[in-house]
């Protein structure tokens, strides 16, 4: 292995380390992310319990991954805005509100996905 590929491999490993540090920081500091994680565990348990199909799992995994990623991105945007200005600024508020709005849209979509996948199976349990 030449030194150039070793350097690239080392950079790649470091970038994974930075990403994992960011995820850990978000989990430790962001209440909303912990709420999303809690509901993700419930959804995964329901998926196992109700034996959802592979295609349903793919959709659930995308919804969970998208939700968690978007929540972390929202937190990052909030921190960058806070870093730039501690004073109230209409553009800072707009940036934070738009990021929060994106999270809300995806959360609503995720709930709809969950209802489409799980509700018929739950109804079948009671018939």
pLDDT (tens digit, 9 = 90+) per residue, 47-68?
999 999 999 999 999 999 999 9
Closest-CA residue to 72 (of 101, 30, 112, 40): 30
Q: How high is the pLDDT of residue 3?
A: 67
71 among annotated binding-site residues = yes
Q: How high is the pLDDT of residue 7?
A: 76
Q: What is the average pLDDT value for the chain, to the nearest integer?
A: 94
pLDDT (tens digit, 9 = 90+) per residue, 74-101?
999 999 999 998 888 899 999 999 999 9
State how far the alpha carbon of 25 is from the alpha carbons of 4, 22, 30, in Å.
31, 5, 8
Domains of the chain: 31-125 (1.10.287.3610)
Phi-psi region of 51 (alpha: psi -120 to 50; beta: other; left: phi over 0): left
| CB-based contact 104:70 (threshold 8 Å) | no
The CA angle 53-73-108, to the nearest 5 degrees, is 50
Catalytic sites, residue numbers = 71
Mean pLDDT of 2-24: 86
Residue 89 tokens, joined: 């600024």
Could you tell me which residue, 127 or 37, shows the higher pLDDT? Answer: 37
Q: How high is the pLDDT of residue 55?
A: 98
31 among annotated binding-site residues = no
| CB-based contact 52:121 (threshold 8 Å) | yes
Phi-psi region of 103 (alpha: psi -120 to 50; beta: other; left: phi over 0): alpha
Predicted TM-score (pTM) above 0.85: yes
11 among annotated binding-site residues = yes
30 among annotated binding-site residues = yes
């Amino acid at each position: 292995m030449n030194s150039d590929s070793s350097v690239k491999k080392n950079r790649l490993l470091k970038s994974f380390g930075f990403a994992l540090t960011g995820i850990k920081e978000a989990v430790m500091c962001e209440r909303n992310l912990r709420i999303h994680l809690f509901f993700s565990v419930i959804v995964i348990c329901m998926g196992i319990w109700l034996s959802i199909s592979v295609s349903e799992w793919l959709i659930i995994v995308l919804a969970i991954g998208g939700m968690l990623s978007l929540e972390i991105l929202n937190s990052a945007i909030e921190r960058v805005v806070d870093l730039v200005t501690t004073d109230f600024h209409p553009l800072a508020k707009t940036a934070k509100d738009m990021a929060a709005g994106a999270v809300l849209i995806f959360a609503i979509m995720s709930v709809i996905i969950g209802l489409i996948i799980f509700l018929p199976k739950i109804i079948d349990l009671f018939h």
